Amino acid sequence: MDSLELKYGCNPNQKPARIFMAQGSLPLKVLNGKPGYINLLDALNGWQMVSQMEKAVGLPSAASFKHVSPAGAAVGLPLNEQERQMYFVGEHSELSPLACAYTRARGADRMSSFGDFVSLSEVCDLSTAKCINREVSDGVIAPGYTEEALALLKQKRNGSYTVLSIDPNYIPSPIEQRSVFGITFEQGRNDIVLNQKILQPIVTANTNLPNSAKIDLLIALIALKYTQSNSVCYVKNGQTIGVGAGQQSRIHCTRLAGSKADLWHLRQSEQVLGLPFLPSLSRNAKDNAIEQYLADDPETSLYEGEQWKQYFSQCPQVFTPEQKKACLQTIKGVSLASDAFFPFRDNIDRAKRSGVEYIVQPGGSVRDDVVIEACNEYGMVMVSNGIRLFHH
């Protein structure tokens, strides 16, 4: 039996804790640091997701996981100038395709990614390691590391940063088990292959599904396969921009993910990109400032007691609700996936507000006709493929 002892389980009182293989060897190795129980759950879910994304799309992939759901996931498409600014990437910095994937994944929801676990589909190069090194993170998993990348990552967090390597050829048992309250559950592993073949049938009047949307829909579906249900995911330009995870109501998933997608778009506005940050401000402090600046109802207003002086060299102009609404009304081309059917058209109405034009969901609701009618009203393309992707 091959095993790895852990400090404790989900919480400090849950001892002993370990991971083990009853037969064979563990497919992962600890190259640095000491992973925790939740770290490994994030690492193994994230690795499955990014490896499947690369197979489906043919591009290097990365994910930022927190508490067993992705805060962000992306493939390695180049960054445009606005994206470089919003992700704090210098204009002269050269990023490898894998580094682009990581930067996009981390930038999808930077507040949620604070203290994340990173998953990479390819060997981590120095370009990607430099990007990871700048962020607050618990660890990384990848099929390998270049010598320079590993040396840099081993220095992170005063030498305690967790670095895991995983065997990319490892194939798990087709049957998986888990124990709850002393009772063992067993089921077939969810090994469904998500590729362009499952983006059918299209059930709306509009059937024009461009290749870019197909890529985005696949990224959304693969992300949902490893997101705590109920879940909904918005994607644009090869990256998740809003993930709504673990909600009991479908509309709450759609609202939560839609609000995150809206913030992602607003972060690219002139008002945000032009904020007069103090030169000494850290990246994380900038994230907090932007969150407060964009929030409709922040915990502490930047304009009360001159709180803005913590972040800015001069008082920024208020980004009014009317200005935000006008900015968001120009958004289009967003893709959305749901891990189960939409029971009511309110999900479609909310998705429209965030620029959604392409949808994939299983279908099967008694109100499918009402949902399809709503999509037709908005000129959306919707696939109902019959594939449910619950994950618990």
User: Is 34 a known active-site residue?
Assistant: no
User: Is 67 a known active-site residue?
Assistant: yes
Give the DSSP H or E segment for 4: strand 2-6
Cβ contacts of residue 155 below 8 Å, gap of 6+? 133, 161
H helix runs in 93-210, sequence order? 97-107, 126-133, 147-154
Cβ contacts of residue 30 below 8 Å, gap of 6+? 4, 162, 163, 164
Rg over CA atoms, the chain: 21
Do 328 and 262 touch, CB atoms closer than 8 A? yes
Instruction: Give the up-direction half-sphere exposure of residue 320: CA atoms within 13 A in the CB hemisphere.
Output: 3
Helix-, strand-, coil-residue percentages of the chain, each rounded to 5? 35, 25, 40
As a whole number of angstroms, the distance between CA 40 and CA 259 comes to 29
Cα–Cα nearest to 383, from 211, 217, 193, 194: 217
Residue tagged active-site, from 230, 237, 347, 385: 230
Cβ neighbours, 10 Å, residue 67: 16
**Residue 145 per-residue DSSP state:** B
Task: Determine phi and psi for 190, rounding to 5 degrees.
Answer: -80, 85
Residue position matching structure tokens 């967003």: 334
Residue position matching structure tokens 């998953």: 119
Residue tagged active-site, from 55, 67, 154, 286: 67
Task: Determine phi and psi for 154, rounding to 5 degrees.
Answer: -65, -20
Do 30 and 102 touch, CB atoms closer than 8 A? no
User: Is 7 a known active-site residue?
Assistant: no
As a whole number of angstroms, the distance between CA 153 and CA 159 comes to 8
Residue tagged active-site, from 45, 66, 237, 324: 66
Residue tagged active-site, from 92, 197, 332, 392: 392
User: Is 197 a known active-site residue?
Assistant: no
Do 116 and 65 touch, CB atoms closer than 8 A? yes
As a whole number of angstroms, the distance between CA 33 and CA 240 comes to 29
As a whole number of angstroms, the distance between CA 18 and CA 36 comes to 9
As annotated, the active-site residues are 66-67, 230, 392
